[in-house]
């Protein structure tokens, strides 16, 4: 009798172990580390650049899977439009107190997404399924989306996004046609308060939008700082800033009065949707189209851009935006 | 303690050297107007300065570059260099300590904290400058109050209290940086603290010029009495100096000058420590000559470094980083060169 009972217990244990083993799988993240994840991902924590990471998940229609909120310093209005429940979620990171590790564990995430190695290592050592996503070179977004498609078991969505990405860029390039380097407008994406070009990704989307970035010297570093005189010497025809406060500052600066962009009132605020379009964001194909529309308005109309935005957010975020909301995204952040 | 060299040259030779130094500063100021990322010919510069512009677009741009960008920046660099050097020399004399610098009583850290706090709350530039000034003064007042509450108040006590205040305000800067929004504000604070004249305008030049000229003039008027302080408190008092009052005036002037420079340029280190030593080596201890030489050398150094910072490449190198990179090894070179002769 006792040996019979023992056989039954052993059988149950084997079944349990095999069932557990069957529910798990191992993936390799963008830093080359192996991470064991449950088969079904339904609770996701995003850490670090939360709006950027949330944007990737919005594209998979996974708004409901995000279980953490937005830190106040990173909050953007449209994050709550795309995922209204974010406002109710607990905030597990802040600039003041760093990561609330115990709160993250309490959220019982199936997946933790980060974009920095130290956080990934720290959470990984605690047994959390932390996956590092990298986006340094422009094409990394495609690898990143493919990996997420694999993790979320939504490979077709990832493939659809990559197709859309390539097709949109190809369509913009075909519409632009061959543009002589000398006839491309001189463009400067600037953080005017710090006199810095803050993100190398702008060296990618400005030329794809038909412009010539004045800070594109093939540098490796993420940002570059320059003097006011250098800015005047560059004489940009188009200035792109991150918020409306910066635009007001630039327009009111007497020392910039002879700069073509200020003189011709071509100082533009980068749109802000899930994230600032001028920086790395899932909305990057729209960034290129927006850049083309402000650099070559005769070829790329505002109506065309709005129609594309409508289609993008509907197709990937599963949300239909009103004309007012499109206008609000295109008006950019009000700034401080 | 003997930390200066006797006048190395004859009086006349010293005066000639000083004149040459002033002439070099004037020449560098003129050259600085011609140096920059925007190409301007000498003829254009002359026409613009003489108001002979032809009203064209290029003429208007030349006017903007020269009168609104370069001239204020050059003036600010001159005032920052002169102010920090004079403040450093004053602190070294009052505290009879060759390692004294404008940051000794926590001025730089206090001013840095004030500015960081203003940047944290996204206040406008004028408020950032005001907060830096108030922070600098607050640090010195706190050092004085702490020192006066210690029995047997002495210069050493004041220096120690200054070091404590400096450490405290540095920690508070770290706290502000820690709670700052890492996406934007933290970078702004970090950039500001590195020190830069990248956006210096006429208002900045005026902000730094007023305390530097006023403080410099006061120190110059009191130069002979101040020189008595170098002999020590008791000796100076025996020679009729009101030591406590004199020390307070000198520290106030030096603090105001330092705080004003931090207001517009961030924390620019090494100028106030290095330049007074070079001036004493070259021009000796005669108070008037040493002061003029210190101010002129300081202005020359800051202006030359800023010229490189803004012109060497497309990338603007922070002024505070440049002065540290040049100042630290040069200071070490001076120490090795003079060895026991001056540092015993």
**A259 pLDDT higher than 70:** yes
Note whether B107 and B135 are within 8 A (CB): no
User: Is residue B64 less than 8 Å (CB to CB) from chain A?
Assistant: yes
| Rounded average pLDDT over A223-232 | 91
* Greatest mean pLDDT among A4-8, A38-42, B50-54: A38-42
Among B64, B312, B321, pick the best mutation site for testing chain A contact (most A Cβ within 10 A). Answer: B64
Find the closest chain A residue to B57 by CA distance. A258
Of B69, B122, B187, the CB nearest to A194: B187
Residues of A with CB under 8 A from a CB of B: 73-74, 95-96, 193-196, 198, 215, 217, 224-230, 232-233, 254-255, 257-258, 336
Residues of chain B where predicted confidence (pLDDT) is lower than 70: 1-10, 152-153, 183, 338-344
Of the listed ranges A254-268, A282-296, B57-71, the one predicted with least confidence: B57-71
Among B34, B36, B38, pick the best mutation site for testing chain A contact (most A Cβ within 10 A). Answer: B38
Among B182, B202, B320, pick the best mutation site for testing chain A contact (most A Cβ within 10 A). Answer: B182
Residues of A in contact with B198 (CB under 8 A): 195, 225-228
Q: Is the ipTM of this complex over 0.85?
A: no
Find the closest chain A residue to B124 by CA distance. A336
Find the closest chain A residue to B198 by CA distance. A227
Report the C-alpha gap between A76 and A217 in whole angstroms: 32
User: Is residue B68 less than 8 Å (CB to CB) from chain A?
Assistant: yes
| Rounded average pLDDT over A9-32 | 65
| Rounded average pLDDT over A305-322 | 96
pTM of the model: 0.80
Query: In the block, which residue shows the tokens 């006797």?
Result: B6
Of B38, B187, B318, the CB nearest to A232: B38
pLDDT score of A113: 97
pLDDT score of B190: 86
Report the C-alpha gap between A199 and A279 in whole angstroms: 6
pLDDT score of A129: 96
What are the structural domains of chain B? Answer: 2-343 (1.10.3470.10)
How confident is residue A2, by pLDDT bands cut at 50, 70 and 90?
A: low
Of A193, A232, A336, the CB nearest to B65: A232
CB neighbour burial string for B281-300, b if at least 16 within 10 angstroms, e if fewer: bbbbeebebbbbbbbbbbbb
Residues of B in contact with A95 (CB under 8 A): 178-182, 186
Find the closest chain A residue to B174 by CA distance. A96
| Rounded average pLDDT over A238-246 | 94
Of B69, B180, B183, the CB nearest to A228: B69
Of residues A232 and B194, more confidence is placed in A232
pLDDT score of B299: 97
| Rounded average pLDDT over A156-164 | 97
Residues of B in contact with A230 (CB under 8 A): 37-38, 310, 314, 316
pLDDT score of B338: 67
CB contact under 8 A, B64 and A233: no
- Mean pLDDT over each residue of chain A, to the nearest integer: 90
pLDDT above 70: percentage of residues in chain A: 92
Strands A111-114 and A98-99: unpaired
CB contact under 8 A, A229 and B65: yes
Of A194, A196, A258, the CB nearest to B57: A258
How confident is residue A163, by pLDDT bands cut at 50, 70 and 90?
A: very high
**A261 pLDDT higher than 80:** yes
List, as ranges, residues 294-313 from B with C-beta within 8 Å of A: 310
pLDDT score of B153: 63
pLDDT score of A10: 47
Of A215, A217, A225, the CB nearest to B316: A225
pLDDT score of A85: 95
Q: 3-state SS of chain B? A: CCCCCCCCCCHHHHHHHHHHHHHHHHHHHHHHHHCCCCCCCHHHHHHHHCCCCCCCHHHHHHHHHHHHHHHHHHHHHHHHHHHHHHHHHHHHHHCCCCCCCCCCCCHHHHHHHHHHHHHHCCCCHHHHHHHHHHHHHHHHHHHHHHHHCCCCCCHHHHHHHHHHHHHHHHHHHHHHHHHCCCCCHHHHHHHHHHCCCCCCCHHHHHHHHHHHHHHHHHHHHCHHHHHHHCCCHHHHHHCCCCHHHHHHHHHHHHHHHHHHHHHHHCCCCCHHHHHHHHHHHHHCCCHHHHHHHHHHHHHHHHHHHHHHHHHCCCCCCCHHHHHHHHHHHHHHHHHHHHHHHHHC
pLDDT score of B169: 94
pLDDT score of A1: 45
Residues of A in contact with B68 (CB under 8 A): 254-255
């Amino acid at each position: 009798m006792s040996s019979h009972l023992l056989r039954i217990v052993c059988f149950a244990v084997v079944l349990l172990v095999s069932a557990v083993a069957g529910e798990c799988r191992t993936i390799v993240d963008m830093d080359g580390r192996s991470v064991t994840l449950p088969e079904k991902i339904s609770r996701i924590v995003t850490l670090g650049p939360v709006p950027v990471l949330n944007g990737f998940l919005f594209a998979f229609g996974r708004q409901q899977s995000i279980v953490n909120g937005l830190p106040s310093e990173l909050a953007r209005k449209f994050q709550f439009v795309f995922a209204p429940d974010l406002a109710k979620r607990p905030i597990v990171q802040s600039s003041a107190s760093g990561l609330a590790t115990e709160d993250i564990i309490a959220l019982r995430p199936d997946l933790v997404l980060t974009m920095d190695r130290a956080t990934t290592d720290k959470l990984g050592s605690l047994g959390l399924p932390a996956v590092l996503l990298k986006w340094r070179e422009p094409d990394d977004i495609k690898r990143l989306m493919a990996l997420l498609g694999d993790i979320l078991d939504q490979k077709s969505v990832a493939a659809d996004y990559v197709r859309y990405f390539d097709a949109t860029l190809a369509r913009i390039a075909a519409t632009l046609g061959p543009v002589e380097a000398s006839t491309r407008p001189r463009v400067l994406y600037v953080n005017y308060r710090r006199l810095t070009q803050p993100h190398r990704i702008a060296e990618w989307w400005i030329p794809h939008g038909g412009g010539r970035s004045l800070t594109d010297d093939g540098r490796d570093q993420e940002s570059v700082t320059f003097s006011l005189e250098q800015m005047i010497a560059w004489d940009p025809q188009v200035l792109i800033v991150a918020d409306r406060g910066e635009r007001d500052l630039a327009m009111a600066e007497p020392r910039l009065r002879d700069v073509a962009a200020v003189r011709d009132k071509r100082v533009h605020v980068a749109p802000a949707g899930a994230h600032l379009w001028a920086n790395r964001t899932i909305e990057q194909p729209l960034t290129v189209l927006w850049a083309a529309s402000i650099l070559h308005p005769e070829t790329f109309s505002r109506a065309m851009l709005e129609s594309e935005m409508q289609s993008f957010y509907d197709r990937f975020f599963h949300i239909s935006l009103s004309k007012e909301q499109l206008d609000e995204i295109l008006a950019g952040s009000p700034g401080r | 303690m003997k930390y200066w060299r006797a006048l190395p040259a004859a009086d006349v030779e010293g005066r000639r050297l000083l004149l040459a130094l002033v002439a070099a500063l004037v020449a560098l100021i003129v050259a600085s107007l011609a140096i920059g990322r925007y190409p301007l010919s000498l003829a254009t510069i002359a026409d613009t300065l003489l108001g002979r512009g032809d009203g064209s677009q290029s003429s208007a741009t030349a006017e903007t570059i020269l009168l609104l960008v370069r001239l204020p920046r050059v003036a600010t660099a001159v005032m920052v260099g002169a102010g920090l050097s004079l403040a450093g020399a004053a602190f070294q004399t009052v505290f009879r300590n060759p390692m004294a610098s404008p940051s000794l009583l926590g001025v730089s850290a206090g001013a840095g904290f004030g500015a960081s706090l203003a940047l944290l709350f996204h206040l406008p530039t004028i408020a950032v400058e005001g907060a830096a000034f108030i922070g600098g003064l607050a640090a010195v007042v706190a050092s004085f109050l702490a020192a006066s509450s210690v029995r047997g108040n002495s210069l050493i006590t004041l220096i120690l209290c200054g070091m404590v205040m400096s450490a405290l305000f540095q920690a508070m800067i770290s706290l502000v940086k820690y709670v700052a929004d890492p996406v934007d504000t933290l970078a702004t604070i970090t950039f500001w603290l590195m020190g830069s004249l990248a956006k210096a305008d006429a208002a900045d030049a005026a902000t730094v010029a007023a305390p530097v000229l006023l403080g410099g003039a006061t120190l110059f008027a009191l130069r002979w009495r101040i020189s008595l302080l170098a002999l020590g408190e008791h000796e100076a008092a025996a020679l009729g100096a009101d030591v406590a009052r004199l020390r307070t005036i000198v520290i106030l002037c030096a603090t105001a000058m330092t705080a004003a420079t931090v207001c517009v340029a961030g924390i620019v280190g090494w100028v106030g420590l290095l330049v007074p030593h070079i001036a004493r080596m070259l021009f000796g201890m005669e108070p008037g000559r040493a002061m003029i030489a210190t101010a002129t050398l300081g202005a020359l150094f800051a202006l030359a470094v800023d010229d490189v910072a803004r012109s060497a490449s497309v990338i603007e190198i922070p002024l505070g980083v440049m002065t540290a990179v040049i100042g630290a090894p040069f200071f070490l070179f001076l120490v090795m060169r003079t060895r026991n002769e001056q540092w015993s």
